[in-house]
Amino acid sequence: MFYHSGKLQYEVRVDNPDPVFAKYLQQAIGGVEGEIRVAMQYMFQAMGARGDSKYRDMLMMTATEELSHIEFLGHAVALNLQNAPLDAQEAAATDPVVGAIMGGMNPRHVLSSGLSAMPVNANGVPFDMSHVYATGNIGADMLANATAESGGRVLASRLYNMTDDKGMKDMLSFLIARDTMHQQQWLAVIEDLGGIEACMPVPNSTPESHEAMEHSYYFLNTSIDEETPQGVWTNGGKAMDGRGTYTAKDKAEPMGQVPDLGKARPKSGAQKEQM
Amino acid sequence: MFYHSGKLQYEVRVDNPDPVFAKYLQQAIGGVEGEIRVAMQYMFQAMGARGDSKYRDMLMMTATEELSHIEFLGHAVALNLQNAPLDAQEAAATDPVVGAIMGGMNPRHVLSSGLSAMPVNANGVPFDMSHVYATGNIGADMLANATAESGGRVLASRLYNMTDDKGMKDMLSFLIARDTMHQQQWLAVIEDLGGIEACMPVPNSTPESHEAMEHSYYFLNTSIDEETPQGVWTNGGKAMDGRGTYTAKDKAEPMGQVPDLGKARPKSGAQKEQM
Amino acid sequence: MFYHSGKLQYEVRVDNPDPVFAKYLQQAIGGVEGEIRVAMQYMFQAMGARGDSKYRDMLMMTATEELSHIEFLGHAVALNLQNAPLDAQEAAATDPVVGAIMGGMNPRHVLSSGLSAMPVNANGVPFDMSHVYATGNIGADMLANATAESGGRVLASRLYNMTDDKGMKDMLSFLIARDTMHQQQWLAVIEDLGGIEACMPVPNSTPESHEAMEHSYYFLNTSIDEETPQGVWTNGGKAMDGRGTYTAKDKAEPMGQVPDLGKARPKSGAQKEQM
Amino acid sequence: MFYHSGKLQYEVRVDNPDPVFAKYLQQAIGGVEGEIRVAMQYMFQAMGARGDSKYRDMLMMTATEELSHIEFLGHAVALNLQNAPLDAQEAAATDPVVGAIMGGMNPRHVLSSGLSAMPVNANGVPFDMSHVYATGNIGADMLANATAESGGRVLASRLYNMTDDKGMKDMLSFLIARDTMHQQQWLAVIEDLGGIEACMPVPNSTPESHEAMEHSYYFLNTSIDEETPQGVWTNGGKAMDGRGTYTAKDKAEPMGQVPDLGKARPKSGAQKEQM
Amino acid sequence: MFYHSGKLQYEVRVDNPDPVFAKYLQQAIGGVEGEIRVAMQYMFQAMGARGDSKYRDMLMMTATEELSHIEFLGHAVALNLQNAPLDAQEAAATDPVVGAIMGGMNPRHVLSSGLSAMPVNANGVPFDMSHVYATGNIGADMLANATAESGGRVLASRLYNMTDDKGMKDMLSFLIARDTMHQQQWLAVIEDLGGIEACMPVPNSTPESHEAMEHSYYFLNTSIDEETPQGVWTNGGKAMDGRGTYTAKDKAEPMGQVPDLGKARPKSGAQKEQM
Amino acid sequence: MFYHSGKLQYEVRVDNPDPVFAKYLQQAIGGVEGEIRVAMQYMFQAMGARGDSKYRDMLMMTATEELSHIEFLGHAVALNLQNAPLDAQEAAATDPVVGAIMGGMNPRHVLSSGLSAMPVNANGVPFDMSHVYATGNIGADMLANATAESGGRVLASRLYNMTDDKGMKDMLSFLIARDTMHQQQWLAVIEDLGGIEACMPVPNSTPESHEAMEHSYYFLNTSIDEETPQGVWTNGGKAMDGRGTYTAKDKAEPMGQVPDLGKARPKSGAQKEQM
């Protein structure tokens, strides 16, 4: 069950409201790299967690933290919109800076939300929940979470560069820090479960008899004119899962048939010539 | 530039066509765990790759392999649909097995595609390209790729269990194997770049001055009645990035203000009572 | 800032796990009538609330409650899936009841989530955040909220009928009750602001000079062969906003021109014949 | 059955074509507050209307009017685009006003529609029909309709402010007026059905035995540090549905269990450590 | 401006209500092959039509007809749902036919619409307006319209096969007929404009100097192991646009460079190793 | 099976990088008129092709070519982004040209992709696979393909006009040329199958007994005040399918009943007043 405090998790200060930066910040709320995504992803993973309950607890606790991030980012968006132009006189100023604002801000911040945050990304595309990755497999989920936090920290770092506002830089430095921890805590779960070798391949419960293992350890070069790129994945060393050795197949060959579906059946809605 | 062979990468054989299993297989084509996603993800990452070109080459070669997976899976779907009911007599049989088929198959496999594969998932929801994660950061991208392949191998393992068809099991055992390699090859890139410690936190190019590092290494317990879950992430050991030490904050406290946007501005479309 | 308790807001008990009902319940999580929608809608309205802060507080408190509803519904879905078929033998039983289950359950509950809840509706369509209505106008928002809760209570009532499980009926009776209160509390805000007449038309801050008021109070009959339906809206009584009198225009007439865009411009990508 | 007149419902005049305002107007066509939404919503409600047929007639007549609104708004968009830049010379003018236009207009108005309206919102996101709310319950539907018209009038009022064009202001004053009527006519249906008390809670056909009525009349304070906001909803007065009395629960407590799904089943695609 | 008659364009009769067929029929309402799509496509094309106004009139008249098709199909869906199971007793019958119904019908026809049509396809996916193709080019638009009507007639033909209900077959035979005319009337516009040769390539207003015409008339064989398929497109005859001669390039060769983006820029959020 | 060359199909050169044009180019990658769409459309049509295998081969060969188009367009987008502003100083220049760039470029080209192409359109909306039209009917598919290529050539022509960059104009002239061929090759398949008359109406396998042929050859005038537009479609000539004669019905009349669904059923979640 959830509870709420009337205060924000972190102080939000905007020294120079900037409606264009408000649009940029939306990516951190409603983008695939944003906070709605991680809040919901961790919450759904927690609701489906089976096995040791400590992982479920971690997930729900961090989901709760991410909800707080949505909240203070939403406040930051609204503060950046406080002085945005609301009528044609304000908007049509010949001042090029205003011109750029009108071109650069999200018009729905005026038209639809009345100067407030929306659950959309920097292009105004609403977040959709297909990005909530929760597989029921803790290995796949932890990688998905580290991925999400990496995308989040890349985004926060870029936003940090794109503003000169001291308040915004301070808030973003907090987000960058929390994304650092979150990246590492999800990978730490893999450590906790025995490390990469023990966890891989994901799922590690698939019987080897279900796997055509002669195809499990070669890098496939599908190019007709490029050399196989060399690296850990081709160096003959032990694969990460400890079950095989990395090699390469330098020339890919078809192993299958020419596909042929024959003629179309009557009543299938095809043209007569296909039957 | 792309080329094509008339033969499939892997042999596809369906001993007992099953239109319900055709619906299930769609998840491996047009689901977020599916082959369109990885083909496009690796292709877009390759097109945006900066730095050592060998990673770009790897990405494009494996993108090319994934296109071949779409192709043979599409053939598998069509073969499973070969005998699906096309008229009311066939469909309305009182035989409960047929009843289940009519309830369980995707009706658009008759109505829209004429007994062929579609770029949709097992619920008939079309794949959308927002799932193509390509950040321009090779660390974030490699984690995203290992994630995608983990989800893919989880899915292929579940599909393997859900069929009794020998041909389908054979094809899926090949997919399981390739997903094994792909998981490991993407993590191997991180090894190649110096390993987890060197690569983290992602992005590793963010200056420490942009990060409120006093918040970078504690797990935040946001629960009002649960103990902090203990593990690698709280054990006082060195964090994965080598820059800090894992701790926990057992009781989360707000650090920010009560948010207050004041009154609504005239012309903002609010109610008078808000102004 | 958000907090969490380890316990659910309401007890969840499933006496007879039913994977088909799990699919149905998804509508209450990820449907437009569902809990993700209201949780996010109230949260975004709260983040954009201007004017008296008590309404912001109400919104955030109820948003928090709705998050708890997502959580116990998610648990209910997982409990209904506990025994769902995971392999072909279990699934292919000729028992018609199992046949109906295989046809009727959401296959992604096996393939994608591993027997857990997903943020999708009963058709497996992911929730998207365009349904978060938050206009910055408290009148429009309160109507939107009463609407959402009405849709929610309609749904919960239908779900109640569609199950025989005592535990599920108990949980749904709680949801029905909370939706009762939530409907009324949002309309109570309108009372608190002076009632319908004071609040209408929404927005009540639009100057009358911006409105062609000669068109503000007639019902327009656009039918060529039906009588004007008679009722409060045509009875000559005072309109709800107190500014006019309800009438009807029994025969709609065009007031505008025949639209004509002339010829296409060169370089506009049209056919030559259009230029 | 539908018919059409060659003339527009209302005169459309654009004195100073403005491609940026064309983008803004799109919100009134393809936004969630727009005319496609209400036209389709009323039409689908009409097609599913059961009970007294006069409500079905109202719905279809107003659906028909909204189709006419799409039409004249589409003409307004095209007229605003008449002089938009079609080549690099026109677009690259160093005149900052042109710069703002190129930044601010929707590029697809050139690239995709050839200077015509599109069924998208002001961000270029296509309208999707999940926003057509039609529940089969006339109470829920009427609230949804009043909500839609409130959002519509908020939007039209904001658009009115954002233009200086006399023709556009005239057209928008007509939309504002019609939205006034439509708000009130849908609420008038509730009056016609006996008023709010008779209609609530929606659905009013749910038996009281299906409702845990001890939870139906309290406002739940889920905050850990904020007072319960006081108002109509907590004042001990009769609830709107006449069945109970408004109270508050000032401190929310979990009533449910700690959720626990136990171990993962074999063949569920989980990690071994979860089993 | 639009008008409406209280009667349907065509008689709708359902002899044996079938909720599974109701789901199938949804494809003809809210599928990409359905009536919402063509109604909106023709309406938006009409609103953007430049050049001879007779084409605009055709488009709007047929748009109007398609709205009438939505209406009677919506009635057909509702009639098929009249007896659908509304509670667990009705639904849980061990009768395999009922089992198949419960598995095969769209649960949202009970849960969300209350036994009425929805603007979704046969998988329950809402229609989205990105499928409204209106380019401002009459040639492209007419091909798009003939395409839409072909898809529509394929669908109607398949639906005709999938039902035994005499009333439904009668209604579908009318749709099949109208789709016949609509296919031909849109292609007739191309005849009216001078025929295929005059209209092609679309747009026919692109100057030849904007086209690398040495690449305009060869079929490109991109296969590494298949012969060039022979036909009209390779036979050396005059191309349809009358400007060239069909040939084939039997072996595709890259004409471009190896793509290379160099190093990542500082502040771009990449890993250090990419810089 | 697919293969890849390290070189691009066509040389890409950008003389003056322009991040606004990068946004425009996205329409050719991820728009409905773009290359992802045709690549996937032809690939899925090929995978479902029944009948003469030469059409399947054509489809797969051209699908392969379109994949190469995605690749070089993606490179063009990245080259146009090479110098885009990455921090607030670069972005906030008072130079109006930079102002327009910041307003006009896609912010996600900085925030999400790190100066690389994305699978989105010019508004940043991700491509979704519902636009892959593959019906199993070769007639419908060929029309869909000619439509897609017409939309593509319209777009490429508009992009050609919107840039002054010689390299970009050269690349676009190649795309214009290939779209010329692709339009004609798909229509050539219809020639190959006997021509329009033989192929129509699509599907040509629908028995005439399934069609209410008395409704198959009249243009329906649904206007109340416009004359029937005259042309090939009304001139009494032979219809394109050779089965009938074009006529017009100058005054549309309803042929159906007044729709009436009666009362709502108990347990349907309606209001009591509807029952």
> Per the structure block, which two tokens stand in for C161?
């009928």
Q: Is F26 on the interface with A (CB under 8 A)?
A: no
pLDDT at res. A11: 98
pLDDT over 70 percentage in chain D? 96
Find how far residue D28's CA is from the centre of its chain: 10
C-beta atoms of C254 and D5 within 8 A = yes
C-beta atoms of A232 and B181 within 8 A = no
Residues 6+ apart with CB under 8 A from A63: A38, A39, A40, A41, A42, A43, A46, C4
Among chain A residues, the shortest Cα distance to B239 is held by: A184
Per-domain residue ranges for chain F?
Answer: 19-197, 212-254
pLDDT over 70 percentage in chain A? 96
Find how far residue F115's CA is from the centre of its chain: 26
Go through B129-151 and write b for each residue having 16 or more CB atoms within 10 A of its CB, e for each that does not: bbbbbbbbbbbbbbbbbbbbbbb
Give the gap in angstroms from C-alpha E223 to the nearest C-alpha of chain C: 33
Q: Is C266 on the interface with E (CB under 8 A)?
A: yes
Give the gap in angstroms from C-alpha A267 to the nearest C-alpha of chain D: 31
User: C259 versus A97: which is more confidently predicted?
Assistant: C259
Q: Is F229 on the interface with A (CB under 8 A)?
A: no
Phi–psi pair at B218, nearest 5 degrees? -115, 140
Q: Write the DSSP string, F105-141.
A: S-THHHHTSSSS--SB-TTSPBPBGGG----S-HHHH
E229 vs E223: CA distance, rounded Å: 11
Confidence band (pLDDT; 50, 70, 90) for A92? low
Q: Is D208 on the interface with A (CB under 8 A)?
A: no
Question: Considering CB atoms only, which of E3, E47, E135 is closest to C222?
Answer: E3
C-beta atoms of B225 and C5 within 8 A = yes
> Per the structure block, which two tokens stand in for C112?
């994608």
pLDDT at res. E184: 97
Residue A130 · residue B32 · CB < 8 Å: yes
F185 vs D80: CA distance, rounded Å: 38
Phi–psi pair at E111, nearest 5 degrees? -75, -35
Phi–psi pair at D219, nearest 5 degrees? -80, 135
pTM: 0.97
pLDDT at res. E20: 93
Q: Write the DSSP string, F61-98.
A: HHHHHHHHHHHHHHHHHHHHTTT---SHHHHT-S-HHH
Token look-up 């091909």 returns E143
Partners of A23 on chain F (C-beta within 8 Å) are 107
For residue C113, the 8-state DSSP code is T
pLDDT at res. F184: 97
pLDDT at res. F98: 55
> Per the structure block, which two tokens stand in for D200?
């609530």
Structurally, at CATH architecture level, domain B19-197 sits in Up-down Bundle (1.20)
Residue D70 · residue D63 · CB < 8 Å: no
F106 vs F117: CA distance, rounded Å: 11
Among chain A residues, the shortest Cα distance to E270 is held by: A154
Instruction: Count residue pairs from A and E with Cβ separation < 8 A.
Output: 15
Q: Which of A262-266, B181-185, F93-97 has the lowest mean pLDDT?
A: F93-97
E107 vs B132: CA distance, rounded Å: 31
Q: Is F5 on the interface with B (CB under 8 A)?
A: yes
Q: Is D177 on the interface with A (CB under 8 A)?
A: no
F43 vs F63: CA distance, rounded Å: 5
Q: Is A267 on the interface with B (CB under 8 A)?
A: yes
Partners of F51 on chain A (C-beta within 8 Å) are 263-264, 270-271, 273-275
Go through C107-138 and write b for each residue having 16 or more CB atoms within 10 A of its CB, e for each that does not: bbbbbbbbbbbbbbbbbbbbbbbbbbbbbbbb
Q: What is the mean pLDDT of chain D?
A: 95
Residues 6+ apart with CB under 8 A from E209: none
**A246-262 per-position pLDDT tens digit:** 999 999 999 999 999 99
C-beta atoms of D274 and A108 within 8 A = no
Q: State mean pLDDT over F106-110.
A: 96
Q: State mean pLDDT over E180-199.
A: 97
* Orientation angle between helical segments B166-192 and B138-161, nearest 10 degrees: 160
A161 vs A172: CA distance, rounded Å: 10
Question: Considering CB atoms only, which of A48, A123, A194 is closest to D123?
Answer: A123
C-beta atoms of C203 and B31 within 8 A = no
C-beta atoms of F2 and B7 within 8 A = no
Give the gap in angstroms from C-alpha A47 to the nearest C-alpha of chain B: 15
Q: Is E84 on the interface with B (CB under 8 A)?
A: no
E198 vs D30: CA distance, rounded Å: 35
Residues recorded for chain E: 275
Among chain C residues, the shortest Cα distance to A119 is held by: C129
Residues recorded for chain A: 275
User: F91 versus C131: which is more confidently predicted?
Assistant: C131
**D202-218 per-position pLDDT tens digit:** 999 999 999 999 999 99
Answer yes or no: is pLDDT of B89 > 90.
no
The Cβ of residue A165 has, within 10 Å, a number of other Cβ atoms equal to: 20
F145 vs F190: CA distance, rounded Å: 12
E99 vs B106: CA distance, rounded Å: 17
What end-to-end distance do the CA atoms of chain E give, in Å? 60
Reported as half-sphere exposure (CB side, CA atoms, 13 A), residue B73 has a value of 29
Residue D187 · residue A111 · CB < 8 Å: no
pLDDT at res. D12: 98
pLDDT at res. A71: 98
pLDDT over 70 percentage in chain F? 96
Q: Is F154 on the interface with C (CB under 8 A)?
A: yes
Residue C140 · residue C52 · CB < 8 Å: no
D203 vs D211: CA distance, rounded Å: 12
B209 vs B231: CA distance, rounded Å: 29
Query: In 3D, which of D6, D71, D75, D9 has the Cα closest to residue D39?
Result: D71
pLDDT at res. A94: 47
**E105-115 per-position pLDDT tens digit:** 999 999 999 99
pLDDT at res. F95: 56
C-beta atoms of D70 and E116 within 8 A = no
Residue F150 · residue F12 · CB < 8 Å: no
How far is CA C129 from each of CA B22, C10, C126, D32, rounded to the nearest angstrom? Answer: 31, 26, 10, 12
Q: Mean pLDDT in each 10-residue stretch from start to end of chain C (275 residues)? A: 98 95 97 98 98 97 98 98 89 58 86 98 98 98 98 98 97 98 97 96 97 97 97 95 96 97 96 95
Residues 6+ apart with CB under 8 A from F141: F45, F133, F134, F135
Note if the bond before D201 is cis, omega within 30 degrees.
yes
Phi–psi pair at A240, nearest 5 degrees? -60, -30
Answer yes or no: is pLDDT of F94 > 50.
no
Q: What is the amino acid identity at position A225?
A: D
The Cβ of residue B243 has, within 10 Å, a number of other Cβ atoms equal to: 17
Q: Is F93 on the interface with A (CB under 8 A)?
A: no
Residue-by-residue pLDDT tens, chain D, 275 positions: 999 999 999 999 999 999 999 999 999 999 999 999 999 999 999 999 999 999 999 999 999 999 999 999 999 999 999 999 999 888 765 455 555 566 789 999 999 999 999 999 999 999 999 999 999 999 999 999 999 999 999 999 999 999 999 999 999 999 999 999 999 999 999 999 999 999 999 999 999 999 999 999 999 999 999 999 999 999 999 999 999 999 999 999 999 999 999 999 999 999 999 99
C-beta atoms of C136 and B262 within 8 A = no
- Identify the H or E element spanning C2: strand C2-4
Which residues, in sequence order, are bridge partners of residue A219?
A248
B88 vs B80: CA distance, rounded Å: 20
Q: Is D139 on the interface with F (CB under 8 A)?
A: yes
Q: State mean pLDDT over A118-145.
A: 98
Go through F55-86 and write b for each residue having 16 or more CB atoms within 10 A of its CB, e for each that does not: bbbbbbbbbbbbbbbbbbbbbbbbbbbeebbb
Confidence band (pLDDT; 50, 70, 90) for F99? low
**F194-225 per-position pLDDT tens digit:** 999 999 999 999 999 999 999 999 999 999 99
Query: In 3D, which of D82, C9, F106, E232 has the Cα closest to residue A125?
Result: F106
Answer yes or no: is pLDDT of F2 > 90.
yes
> Per the structure block, which two tokens stand in for C18?
């039913």
Answer yes or no: is pLDDT of F102 > 80.
no
Secondary structure class of E229 (helix, strand, coil) = coil
Q: Is B110 on the interface with F (CB under 8 A)?
A: no
Residue to substitute from E53, E57, E101, E112, interface C, most C β-carbons within 10 A? E112
Token look-up 């497996």 returns C124
F107 vs A27: CA distance, rounded Å: 9
**A187-202 per-position pLDDT tens digit:** 999 999 999 999 999 9
Confidence band (pLDDT; 50, 70, 90) for B94? very low
D72 vs D170: CA distance, rounded Å: 13
Which residues, in sequence order, are bridge partners of residue A220?
A249
- Identify the H or E element spanning F24: helix F19-30
**E194-245 per-position pLDDT tens digit:** 999 999 999 999 999 999 999 999 999 999 999 999 999 999 999 999 999 9
Confidence band (pLDDT; 50, 70, 90) for F96? low
Answer yes or no: is pLDDT of A95 > 60.
no
Q: Is F92 on the interface with A (CB under 8 A)?
A: yes
Question: Considering CB atoms only, which of A200, A255, A259 is closest to B75?
Answer: A259
C-beta atoms of B269 and D224 within 8 A = no
A231 vs C117: CA distance, rounded Å: 40
Which residues, in sequence order, are bridge partners of residue C249?
C220
The Cβ of residue E90 has, within 10 Å, a number of other Cβ atoms equal to: 16
Residues 6+ apart with CB under 8 A from C80: C14, C17, C18, C19, C21, C22, C25, C168
* Orientation angle between helical segments C138-161 and C19-30, nearest 10 degrees: 170
Residue A100 · residue C35 · CB < 8 Å: no
pLDDT at res. E94: 47
Answer yes or no: is pLDDT of A101 > 70.
no
Residue E4 · residue D64 · CB < 8 Å: yes
